[in-house]
Amino acid sequence: MGLVNSVFVLRDAMINGYAVGAFNVYNIETLKAVVRAAHEKQSPVILQTTPSTIKHIGEDFFAAAAKAAAAKYNIPIILHLDHGNSFELAVKCIRAGYTSIMIDGSHLPYEENIVLTKKVVELAHSVGVTVEAELGSIAGVEDDMYVNEDKSTFTDPEMVPHFVEKTGVDTLAIAIGTAHGLYKGEVKLDFDRLKKIHNLVDVPLVLHGASGVPDGHIRKAIELGISKINIATELKVAFANAIKRVFKENPEENDPRKYFSAGEKEVVDVVKKKITLFGSGGKA
Ligand SMILES: [Zn+2]
């Protein structure tokens, strides 16, 4: 199977009340870990990279690795640009073989967010690539951007139908109280807002910043209409902690195949747990 776009995967999730995990990957080991976990659980999966990860490795390297994974494992795999920050980067990723693009114009004035998103949608749809946009802003550090918690604004449900209709987006990231990075305080999600938005539009909704959100909150969010859930920080922490353990036990270790394998194994475990929580196991 080649890489697929998000249409069937996320529509099926929306209709059948489960969510698909979108896992941020940083290198071959984390990419392999996510795909291996999804294959073991027979789950569709979204691999995603942020602009700074692309700067670090290159969109062509990720696309080649994701295509190899899709050829090897018989499950739906989507390669997604997370928090795409320009039309140019969207074009580069589509050319490299990404099958899904997020264009994040959430920091722009509303009308400009519509113009940028629509431009990316028109291009992406002409070549069968799906688009995610964001309305409202999610607190915390995402990639190189920092959004202050006070300044962050939750998604206004009344604006959602207009935005979806004007842009033609396939999926929408909404701000209902999650944050990027690690949580400092108690997690409070605005479930009423989510319910309202879900009732107003017919596109799969995306939850960003879901690392560290209690399982009960995640289950409720899925029940109320979340179809894609982004996990980044928890994978970074798992990968780093496993490698730290290797060096603590054996400070002389210098074989990347050994310390990276420890990280990979830990990421497989985290992803499998998330797939179970999201209910996407067996849906491949
Ligand atoms: Zn995000």
**pLDDT given for residue 43 in this prediction:** 98
Q: Ligand 1 centroid vs 82 CA: distance in angstroms?
A: 7
The residue from 82, 104, 143, 170 that is catalytic is 82
Closest CA to 208 of 63, 64, 19, 70: 19
Taking the alpha carbons of 220, 158, 9, 71 in that order, is the dihedral positive or negative? negative
**pLDDT given for residue 139 in this prediction:** 73
Task: Report the alpha-carbon distance of residue 89 to residue 94 in Å, rounded.
Answer: 9
Domains, the chain, ranges and CATH? Answer: 7-278 (3.20.20.70)
Tokens linked to 44: 């569709």
Is pTM beyond 0.75 here?
yes
Q: Ligand 1 centroid vs 230 CA: distance in angstroms?
A: 7
Q: Ligand 1 centroid vs 246 CA: distance in angstroms?
A: 30
Q: Ligand 1 centroid vs 142 CA: distance in angstroms?
A: 6
> Which residue ranges in the chain fall short of pLDDT 50?
none
- The answer to whether residue 170 is catalytic is no
What dihedral angle (degrees, nearest 10) is formed by the CA atoms of 212, 141, 222, 197? 150
Tokens linked to 69: 């994974």
Tokens linked to 264: 């990979």
Which tens digit of pLDDT belongs to each residue from 10-42? 999 999 999 999 999 999 999 999 999 999 999
Q: Ligand 1 centroid vs 250 CA: distance in angstroms?
A: 36
**pLDDT given for residue 89 in this prediction:** 98
